[in-house]
Amino acid sequence: MNRVFLLIVGLTASNVFMTIAWYGHLKHFKGRPWLIAALVSWLIAFFEYLIQVPSNRVGHEVLNVGQLKIIQEVITLSVFVPFALFYLGEPIRLNYLWAGFCLLGAVYFIFRA
């Protein structure tokens, strides 16, 4: 199977776990001590790392580290925005669009020949 495809699928899956670990406690653990939220987040992040580390290893076989990082950031925003809007109930912000355009510029510059 194509290595870049495996990278994108793996990083997308790991980003779902990461986003839940980093921001899910804002909805579900508001009244709990921060230490409980941190421990639950670390448990979730463990599964994120089980997917993210092998995905980056596969991706590094065909891409350089800069390209890996930019792909990661694009995926992060692509996962985070729907999570913030639909799960956390945040209002849509024009800044999400501008951030997306900035990332498109980053993709262009990191992948140009």
Backbone phi, psi, residue 2, to 5° = -60, 130
The pLDDT value given to residue 3: 94
Per-residue pLDDT of the chain (113 residues; tens, 9 = 90+): 799 999 999 999 999 999 999 999 999 898 999 999 999 999 999 999 999 999 999 999 999 999 999 999 999 999 999 999 999 999 999 998 999 999 999 999 999 97
Place of tokens 């994108």: 8
Q: Within the chain, where are the H helices? A: 3-23, 25-28, 34-60, 65-82, 94-111
Token readout for 22 is 């980093």
The pLDDT value given to residue 90: 94
Contact 68, 53 (CB under 8 A): no
The pLDDT value given to residue 1: 73
The pLDDT value given to residue 36: 95
The radius of gyration of the chain from alpha carbons, rounded to an integer in Å, stands at 16
How far is Cα of residue 88 from the mean position of the Cα atoms in its chain? 16
